Amino acid sequence: MQAQSKAPSTLLVVLAFATVYIVWGSTYFFIQRALEGFPPFFLGAFRFITAGLIMLIWSLLQGEDVFSAKAIKPAIITGLLLLFIGNGIVIWVEQFLPSAMVAIMISSSPLWFILLDKPKWSENLSNKSTIVGLLIGFAGVVLLFSEKIMVSMSSLNSSRDLFAMALVVFGSMAWAGGSLYSKYKSGTNSATVSSTWQMLAAGIAFLPGSFISGEFTNLDLAAIPMDAWLATTYLIIFGSIAGFSAYVWLLKVQPATKVSTYAYVNPVVAVLLGIFFANESISVLQIAGLVIILGSVLLINLHKYRKPKEAVSAY
């Protein structure tokens, strides 16, 4: 695999992280809004097929080598793991699990990144700041939602809810595995082409579930409220095209453990959006959780910023 001719622009890296951190932090809210009008499998199919087609047109206009078999095969595998299994599970369980509970379990994904990233075991498992940072970050997310968790736990009595929680953990593992597969097995250097086929593969994979569950039979597009349409449009443009493309690109140019910190920052953004736009209150425990999470991300990133300086002298 050829090395990249030059390091990515610091500004681009910062913008990509900001997009993944902020935009994805808002998608929990917009998924729930979209589910008020769209059935889950149809929502996944409509969102990702629409975003994939827009990306396909953009890639063709840019003169990208879109129809390369070398690029399509790994992108399909990645898309199924990330978007169909990982994101699809989130869409399905948010019909009945509290979003706070989902956010907690999704935030375990940075730990799966460490455990599944075999080529980086010697580096990650031997680095205390990375391990401590990840553990502290997860503890911060738990603290952030501790009050909501206590309320939610009292309502989680059915076997369906327990099954849904197990699914979310599996989805988190699939997301980490798919992300690492994309990082090491991508058949193209173009994040745009990779994102295109990943979204199209996932969108098509949602269709059988939509037909089997009878969603198409009962679907009345005219009856879907405008809020659901607007939320879905936001998910397509910002959550998929902007956010997911930024994520795929970051996986190519940054360490996976560093990119995975989005799972800690997203709940912080979700809470802050609730405070500023939904008139929600914030407690002392939540403030402590916010501070701990941001501190953990700083701890993880400090090590990664030092590492390139040592590596440069080796060349």
Which among 305, 288, 256 has a CA at the least distance from the CA of 134?
A: 256
Q: Among residues of the chain, what percentage have pLDDT more than 70?
A: 87
Out of 35-44, 229-238, 261-270, pick the least confident: 261-270
What is the structure's pLDDT at 199? Answer: 96
Which residues make Cβ contacts (< 8 Å) with residue 9, sequence separation at least 6?
Answer: none
Read off the amino acid at residue 309. K
CA 69 to chain centre: 26
Segment 25-38 shows an average pLDDT of 87
The dihedral through the CA atoms of 88, 90, 91, 97 has a sign that is: positive
Kindly report, residue by residue over 151-181, the tens digit of the pLDDT.
666 666 667 777 887 888 899 899 999 999 9
Residue 249 CA: distances (Å) to CA of 12, 13, 186: 10, 9, 11
Which among 231, 219, 220 has a CA at the least distance from the CA of 34?
A: 231
The dihedral through the CA atoms of 295, 296, 301, 302 has a sign that is: positive
Angle between helix axes 24-34 and 262-277 (nearest 10 degrees) is 60
Q: How far apart are CA 252 and CA 179, in angstroms?
A: 10
What is the structure's pLDDT at 109? Answer: 82
Q: How many helices (H) and strands (E) does the chain have?
A: 18, 0
Q: How far apart are CA 259 and CA 305, in angstroms?
A: 13
- Of the pLDDT bands very low, low, confident and very high (cuts 50, 70, 90), residue 305 is low
Kindly report, residue by residue over 234-269, the tens digit of the pLDDT.
999 999 999 999 999 999 888 888 888 888 888 778
Residue 129 CA: distances (Å) to CA of 125, 139, 291: 10, 15, 17
What is the structure's pLDDT at 82? Answer: 93
- Name the pTM for this structure: 0.81
